Structure 1
Amino acid sequence: MANSLKRGMGFWGLISMGVGGVIGSSWIYTNSQFFKQYGAGGEIFGLSLASVLAVLISLSFAELSTIFPESGGEVVYGYAAFGKKGALFAGWALLGSYISILAFYVTASSFLISTIFPEIATGPYYTFAGVKVYLIELAIGIAFTVSVFVINYFGAKLTGNVQIVLMALLIFLGVVIIVVGMAKGRPSNFLPAFTDKQPVFSSIFRFSLPAMTFLTGWESVAILAEETNIPKRKIGIVVILSIVISAFFYIFVLLSSAWIFPWEKTATMQMGTIDAFKAAGYPVLSIFAYLVSFLGLVTAFLTLFTAAPRLIFSLARGNILPKAFAKVHPKYGTPTNALWLVLALVLGLGWIGKGALVYFLDMGGFSIALAWSFDAFCLLKIRLKYPDINGGFRNKHLILPMIGGIFALSIAIFTIIPGTPVSLVWPYEYVILGIWCVLGLGSYFIKGHELSVSEDLLGNSIENMMIDKNHITRKGES
């Protein structure tokens, strides 16, 4: 197809994108705050619970990504299950999450750098939401964002190769931290693992909600499926492996910080794991923890900046957004106009600065929970329409992915109900949500003509396939 993306990403590139999209930055230093509120046990076991739920949710993506290995992932699944409205709902929810998180990273990058070079937080500034945004910090964030854009512009193969190198270094540093922390630490630093502020179960369950935002990014595996050159069935395996690897990395790095130094003391510090290793007498490992945080920011930024344009591209290829955003670079095979749009959106929001960081993260968490739950219902609907369909990875029963989907939907519902522990901030975040919904509805009505199920949207559409109990073959090939 003329507007097909170029296949160039291999197995290790894809799994690096998945894991890199999950392992972010703030988790390694915000654990001081979470230790104080929930105890080390509340954060670590809450994260474990959230990881199990994320795996359940990923089972839907794993199966659908092998049936529809097309760019856009959930956009395609939404269309196959519920038509144009489903495609727009899925794509808009996931895109809202990614844009919010990317806007957060614009200023988060300078925040990390300023911990070593505080002089960048000086000079001319402006104020937003009561927080100063220094022009040097903003310039660093813009330069960082443009660098990621350039890597993406030159193709998925280059992006995957860069991510492999970054992930290898990230995992190496993390393993060193874990080995030394567990070998040199002792259980007495970890026990008792919970605070007296709330019951054990309440601590675990309450932290499992924000922990879900730590575990986003693996959806990019399905979104990038069209640009891979690996067998379809392996795409579903990569989806699940991305979560499992990331979850083990999170849990054991956090556990090692509570093992090497009393977590009650870490709870009084500013930079969590980074400060804990330094206070325990391991300044080199403190530097390693800082590097893990910074590399996590870079890898997550790179993955999400790769995935967001593919969502726009897929919506445009299906006539849901203007066709101009379905343009593919003739040499590099990347969605160039969609990339430029994402760059404009991210920089257009990123200038707001640290005063709006909580807005970005809250909106991202709500959108991702909504997208996750919708995918489970897409799988159920497609199974009912095509009970024998099998792309290479198939759940024996749907009960597990549906449990994950229902839990994610519950989080989304509690987020928009005022007065709950996870409610959006009134009125700002509700206004932002309303604006995003209006933009999505506007796209639907402007491009309101019905679409046909075609290769432009679904690539290998079900209607052009012969389905039997074991596999799918194109008409005329069987």
Structure 2
Amino acid sequence: MKENRETLHKTLKPHWVWALALGSAIGWGAFVQPTTWMESAGPLGVIIGFFIGALLMLLIAVSFGFLIKSFPVSGGGFAYAYISLGRTHAFISGWFLTLGYICIVALNASAFALMIKFIFPRVIENIPLYQIAGWDVYLTEIIVATLLLVLFGIANFRGSSLSGSIQFIFCVIMIGAIFVLLLFVGIQPSAGLQNIAPLFPSDTTPIAAIISIVAIAPWAYVGFDNVPQTAEEFNFPAKKAFSLIVFAILAAATLYSIMIIVTSMVRPWEGVVEEGHIWGTGYIIQELLGPLGMAILAVALAMGIFTGLNGFIISSSRLMLSMARANILPSSFGRLHPKYNTPYVGIIFAVVVSMVAPWFGREALLWVVDMSSIGVTIAYLYTCYAGFSLFRMKKDHTFNEKRHILAPGKKVLAFLGMVASVVFLALLLVPGSPAFLGLESRISLAVWIVLGLIFYLIKRKDLNSLSDKEMNYRILGKEEIEIEKERE
């Protein structure tokens, strides 16, 4: 039995894992979306919304931290759904997470092409092919996105040490560029805090404005759940993962806020919004600081894109490795490269599927990415439920020494994490919500659910062919589901 489960090498250092969480959370949106966010919530509304979202993510992170420590294996939300609710729910969680991760890889690649298109339009706007949903698709744009995917695929193929170290380097460069921008904008005579007013948009209430930002928290902080996907590769005690996640979430909230402050300090933000630039932050930074300011912003954006690409290629391949161990995906996804010890089939699959996306245009891809926020939130809900089911308020007749831990405080936090996850789902799915999915995203969601149902019916026999002990071993690395004891 044990020969069926190859294991990853423990090569990831703590600061690499922190960079994986932070860099995956701070993607292209922090540098492209500030004017869009301010249009919805105003500068202060965006900042408050992001910090409230961070606090809600910290509630969810409590369950992640405990589960990573007790089950340091690849799989994340897929493995945790299996622990608490069994195989079918594990399939549901894994199905949605796979789509979410690969879509974010594809979106980051297309975002890099969009950045090049803004800075060097003559380079990208060559060889027009067709138009999809109002978006012109150029062959040059597709080539740029494809080459970027190939480069990061090769980096991931060659080992987690390489991908982990470059993730940290990219993060350091990104943070440095953000603070340099803050300094350069702050010393300009025409810029300053006086331009930040009004703090909220005039056409909505402050509470509604803040809620519209809180609703996108699963998307804004999605990178922190890359940490459990790499738990099998930690070269440090898994109990440190929780503090790394907390530090990454708070750092992400701070960096998002700094970019809002930088953008709104340049000149009154309402005027920038009314002008409707394709990249409002890029336009006004270039206007104020010239080519040097644009170059610094481009470096920050490129690093944000690179860390997102790298992080989600890592996570999607580890997730598919875990699903292959459980007989959901073909066994080839569970094989590790004989030299580099990486799940190379999953890496190749994620890169190749992402290469298809640029051919459909950015607008069509955004529909799928918006829908994939549902999948990430579902994984959050499963994780918090897993923590809730393992924590106990008291030792009663249902208490099992191997599977339960007396931790009333953590049980309450896990319950609050479940509530936060349900609220996020409601904001995305309830009509009238400020984050309600558009029609195209809802259609994409329905299609993915139908495909998942068909795939589940096809794979159900394979999924149920293993005994409980063998399934436990394949997913968790041990035949019994046992948690590590700790003090409350």
TM-score by length of 2: 0.88
- Contact map agreement 1:128 1:352 (CA 8 A) in 2: yes
Matches within 5 A, 1:39-438: 39-119=42-122, 120-182=124-186, 185-269=191-275, 270=277, 271-281=279-289, 283-384=291-392, 396-418=409-431, 420-426=433-439, 428-438=443-453
Structure 1 residue 13, shift from structure 2 partner: 1.3
**Structure 1: gaps spanning 5 or more residues:** 472-478
One-letter amino acid of the counterpart of residue 343, structure 2: P
**Structure 2: gaps spanning 5 or more residues:** 393-397
Query: Which 10-residue stretch deviates more, 200-209 or 82-91?
Result: 82-91
One-letter amino acid of the counterpart of residue 324, structure 1: S
Query: Which 10-residue stretch deviates more, 22-31 or 34-43?
Result: 34-43
SS in 1 for 2:204: coil
Q: Deviations over 1:172-213 (max 9, x none)?
A: 111222344456553321122112101111111122212431
C-alpha distance in structure 2 between counterparts of 1:300 and 1:77, whole Å: 23
CA 1:282–1:210 in structure 2 vs 1: closer, same or farther (change >3 Å)? Answer: same
One-letter amino acid of the counterpart of residue 208, structure 1: V
Q: Name the structure 2 match of 1:14.
A: 17
SS in 2 for 1:329: coil
Structure 1 residue 352, shift from structure 2 partner: 1.2
C-alpha distance in structure 2 between counterparts of 1:7 and 1:74, whole Å: 20
Query: Which 10-residue stretch deviates more, 412-421 or 215-224?
Result: 412-421
- Contact map agreement 2:384 2:414 (CA 8 A) in 1: yes
Structure 1 residue 440, shift from structure 2 partner: 4.7
C-alpha distance in structure 2 between counterparts of 1:426 and 1:259, whole Å: 35
- Contact map agreement 1:65 1:222 (CA 8 A) in 2: yes
C-alpha distance in structure 1 between counterparts of 2:363 and 2:486, whole Å: 55
CA 1:29–1:339 in structure 2 vs 1: closer, same or farther (change >3 Å)? Answer: closer
* Alignment RMSD (CA, Å): 2.6
SS in 1 for 2:130: strand
Structure 1 residue 156, shift from structure 2 partner: 0.7
Structure 1 residue 395, shift from structure 2 partner: 8.4
Identical positions, percent: 23
CA 1:468–1:193 in structure 2 vs 1: closer, same or farther (change >3 Å)? Answer: closer
- Contact map agreement 1:415 1:423 (CA 8 A) in 2: yes
One-letter amino acid of the counterpart of residue 475, structure 2: L
C-alpha distance in structure 1 between counterparts of 2:404 and 2:16, whole Å: 22
One-letter amino acid of the counterpart of residue 177, structure 1: L
One-letter amino acid of the counterpart of residue 117, structure 1: F
SS in 2 for 1:397: helix
Structure 1 residue 25, shift from structure 2 partner: 0.6
SS in 2 for 1:376: helix
- Contact map agreement 1:72 1:314 (CA 8 A) in 2: yes
- Contact map agreement 1:414 1:422 (CA 8 A) in 2: yes
Structure 1 residue 430, shift from structure 2 partner: 3.9
C-alpha distance in structure 2 between counterparts of 1:27 and 1:315, whole Å: 32
Q: Deviations over 1:430-466 (max 9, x none)?
A: 4433344335524542424253233221014544x58
User: What is the aligned length?
Assistant: 469
- Contact map agreement 1:19 1:245 (CA 8 A) in 2: yes
C-alpha distance in structure 2 between counterparts of 1:190 and 1:379, whole Å: 42
Q: Name the structure 2 match of 1:476.
A: none
Structure 1 residue 128, shift from structure 2 partner: 2.6
Query: Which 10-residue stretch deviates more, 115-124 or 282-291?
Result: 282-291
